[in-house]
Chains A and B, each alone.
Chain A
Amino acid sequence: MRPAPLLQARIAEFSYHGDDASVLRDLEVDAVPGTHMAVLGGSGSGKSTLGRLLAGWLSGGHAGRFRGSLRLGAAASAAAGDSGPIIFHGAPDDPRINASLWSEHVGYVPQDAAALLSTVGSTVAEELAFGLENRGMDRRLMHDAVLRAAEAAGLAALLERDPATLSGGELRRLAVACAAITRPGVLVLDEPLGSLDEAGAVSVSALIRGLTDSGTAVIILSQTVDELALTAAQWIVLDGGTVSARGTPGGLAGSPGLLQSGVVLPARARDGSGHVRRAAGPDPADQRRRTEQHRLTEQGHCAGTATRAALELERIAFGFPAGRRGKGPRVLADLSLAVRAGEVVAVTGPNGAGKSTLLRHFNGLLRPDRGCVRIDGADIAGIPTGKVADRVGLLFQHPRDQLFERTVLREVLFGLERKSGPEAAAKARTALAAVGLGDQLESHPHELPASRQRLLALATVLAREPKLIALDEPTVGLDRHGLEHLDEAIAAAALRGAAVVIVTHDLAYARATAHRILELREGTLREG
């Protein structure tokens, strides 16, 4: 017999204030103990809104209009002294959910896991304990609970670490453990594997499997059919805010509901993007010349001859000042690289290998301690980043770090008028159309879904038509449509003669997209 659900959500309609269009409609979700459900959908399908609604973050009429009901399982309802569903009519005087009490039954980890942390815990142990402190738990019991949670999440060795120094995978496990430590019956996790390297993804998946085995109802929100989604008992496919397909993974694989949504399918990375390589691949003779040139460059000195390479790094070394990133070895050591116009190079490596640090040397945001960086044959030492930016476009790892304007159009226009003069507006619109944001010129960048924020950041790079495009983890958070726009943008840039360097932890994507794959390990690049 199927156990009774711990949470039943009946959503007739939800829309945010100031926006008439509904974000969610005609949707039912039941969270059954000990099961793992995946809600799949592309960017803007309403997944994150669903997560926040289930977490009780959007109730009470202050965030938007919600018509529907939420009902906790019998045990939780009895504890709360009320056994009926909480009914919402979309009116300002709708019931408000007490997020503190609700989180004892429904835990939630948002897409940006760091946002869940209190920021006042100076160690992992204190961050874990924060939710227990707030509930007045006795200190001895709290120590036991923190130890148990840390062991389950594989954080036992990190209890005394400062949360700010954790890697992406460790941070995500900490956030999940923080939500799970009060033992809620239901856990809602938004993109739990996003931006994690393989080791990080394996560790988070193991934690989630452990929670399911211990009886928790886990709901994963994801725009990728990843290994976690494949182990779910049930899939719900969201498209345009409503269910387009529902069933078991086996039953839904290859179904039209799934194929038409923006969900990234597992085979995509291996067969999707060959056109980039085919369209712009340098011929074998070029490859030989490049290899020869690379060897000469490695032997040369900083003041050496100018070459045709769009980007040349010559034996650069870099380490963060002690005290900022701790001691540790140099992040980059004696690293050389030459990338020709029209060439697409992928740099892979695990989280924390220094890939982002490497990219920041291309436009002078970071300067090497030794060695030199040449763009189009010219050394950029002493040239301010703002000037180098005319020739180098950099897509940051976290789009939010890159977006600071009030509207999508203003965002792309920043700095473009100085470079392109009267053509700036036309170039901005063309770049936005190329990434599929041509109809959202007046939206606020921070209100876009994560996938579109990354595409907007990409448009700010494309509009400047740089000779070198450096992309830091460009695939993270993109749905299938977004990935198609990215592929087209890379192909078009390579065709017009731009050199492209992509940093990614996704080896399959690198193989499908790049002419050449290099691995960053121990501070230097090796042929992958």
Chain B
Amino acid sequence: MQARLNPLTALAAAAATAAITTAASSWAVSLTVVLGGAALAVRAGVAGRLAPAASVILTPFWLSLLIMHGLFFPEGRTVLAEWGAVRVTTEGLGFALDMGARTAAYVVVFLLFSFTVRVPDLVAVMSARRVPPQFGYVLASTLTLAPAISGRLTRIRHAQESRGLVVRGGPLPRLAAARLQMVPLVLSLIQEAGDRAQALDSRGFNGPMARTSYREVPDTAAQRTFRAVALLLAAAAVALRISGQWPEMQWPELQWPGGVPA
């Protein structure tokens, strides 16, 4: 199912969802988007990769939100607890929840996109849209960089272990060992980048011609319509929010007294 989607459709859906979630500024909408994203991730079989990646990004962010807004929120009026300058207020906690949920929605939506998009499809679509091929190449290389680097690191570590480097379990010893692998890693990546640049040149990559694409990426009238509608909805939502005409919804308990700070 995912593989047949045009990457632009998936990208439009992700961008529109993010824009509408921002415009809605509601923790309930954000949480719904997160849950929807999680359900799609499970269905696409990427939940196992998405969950750890999302938690690595979100955990420190949520902690900082909690400290910044949960403990220090000058506009807060309903004080739940107070220690000197530190005041825990309902409004502060609510703001942290709203921001946290909204960020979670962005992160889940864009991770879902990057884990399900077929990189060659995306590059092919971009080159068909006359995006400079260098941009597509950098994007594709970036999306495939992590596995390439981890493979290289493993090879360097194996070489070092074979010559007496003892790597013990546990994160700290592994980190200490990784320090020894950083210089060779960077040097070998630079070396390879130089070789690769010459090889790409010789295959006409920086040539003067307009690039064509071998890969045919499926697209349908329905998908084109969906993209147009999604982008229109996103634009409308942003316009409504900016103009102050956004219809306020009544959410129990955590609704802001004077509207949500944008």
Give residues in A with beta carbon < 8 Å to B: 55-57, 99-104, 108, 110, 112, 115-122, 125-126, 129-139, 142-143, 146, 178, 182, 360, 363, 365, 384-387, 389-390, 393-394, 396, 400-406, 414-416, 418-419, 446, 460, 464
Q: Contact between B119 and A120 (Cβ–Cβ < 8 Å)?
A: yes
Q: Does B25 contact A (CB under 8 A)?
A: no
How many positions in chain B have a CB within 8 Å of any CB in the partner chain? 51
Inter-chain CA distance A396–B156, complex, in Å, is 11
The listed residue with most A CB atoms (<10 A of its CB), out of B202, B208, B212, is B202
Please report which residues of chain B, range 196-247, place their CB below 8 angstroms from some CB of chain A when the two chains form the complex: 196, 198-216
Chain A residues, Cβ within 8 Å of B158: 360, 365, 385, 396, 401
Chain A residues, Cβ within 8 Å of B118: 122
Q: Which residue of A lies closest to B121 (CB)?
A: A122
Q: Contact between B206 and A142 (Cβ–Cβ < 8 Å)?
A: no
Chain B residues, Cβ within 8 Å of A418: 164
Chain A residues, Cβ within 8 Å of B161: 363, 365, 384-386, 389
Task: List, sorted by A's number, 17 A–B pairs whose CB atoms are closer than 8 Å.
Answer: A100-B201, A100-B202, A100-B207, A103-B204, A110-B195, A112-B195, A116-B199, A116-B203, A118-B205, A120-B137, A135-B209, A139-B214, A384-B166, A385-B166, A389-B161, A419-B164, A446-B188
User: Does more than half of chain B's interface fall in helix, strand or loop, or is it mixed?
Assistant: helix
Within the complex, the shortest CB–CB distance from A78 to chain B, in Å, comes to 19
Q: Does B43 contact A (CB under 8 A)?
A: no
Known A126-B214, A415-B163, A446-B191: A120·B141 in contact at CB below 8 Å? yes
Q: Which residue of A lies closest to B156 (CB)?
A: A404
Within the complex, the shortest CB–CB distance from A115 to chain B, in Å, comes to 5
Inter-chain CA distance A363–B202, complex, in Å, is 41
Known A103-B203, A115-B195: A133·B184 in contact at CB below 8 Å? no
Apart from A100-B201, A146-B214, A414-B160: 19 A-B pairs, beta carbons within 8 A: A100-B207, A102-B202, A115-B199, A119-B196, A126-B214, A133-B211, A139-B214, A365-B162, A384-B167, A385-B161, A389-B162, A402-B162, A404-B160, A405-B184, A406-B187, A415-B163, A415-B165, A446-B191, A460-B163
Q: Contact between A385 and B162 (Cβ–Cβ < 8 Å)?
A: yes
Inter-chain CA distance A108–B195, complex, in Å, is 13
Q: Contact between A120 and B123 (Cβ–Cβ < 8 Å)?
A: yes
8 Å CB contact of B162 from A139, A363, A406, A416: A363
Inter-chain CA distance A390–B118, complex, in Å, is 46
Inter-chain CA distance A447–B198, complex, in Å, is 17
Chain A residues, Cβ within 8 Å of B183: 404
Chain B residues, Cβ within 8 Å of A360: 158
Q: Does B90 contact A (CB under 8 A)?
A: no
Inter-chain CA distance A138–B187, complex, in Å, is 39
Q: Contact between B212 and A139 (Cβ–Cβ < 8 Å)?
A: yes
Q: Contact between A133 and B212 (Cβ–Cβ < 8 Å)?
A: yes
Chain A residues, Cβ within 8 Å of B200: 118
Q: Contact between B164 and A101 (Cβ–Cβ < 8 Å)?
A: no
Chain A residues, Cβ within 8 Å of B167: 384-386
Q: Contact between B188 and A404 (Cβ–Cβ < 8 Å)?
A: yes
Known A122-B118, A133-B213, A401-B158: A103·B202 in contact at CB below 8 Å? yes
Please report which residues of chain B, range 10-26, place their CB below 8 angstroms from some CB of chain A when the two chains form the complex: none
Inter-chain CA distance A136–B205, complex, in Å, is 11
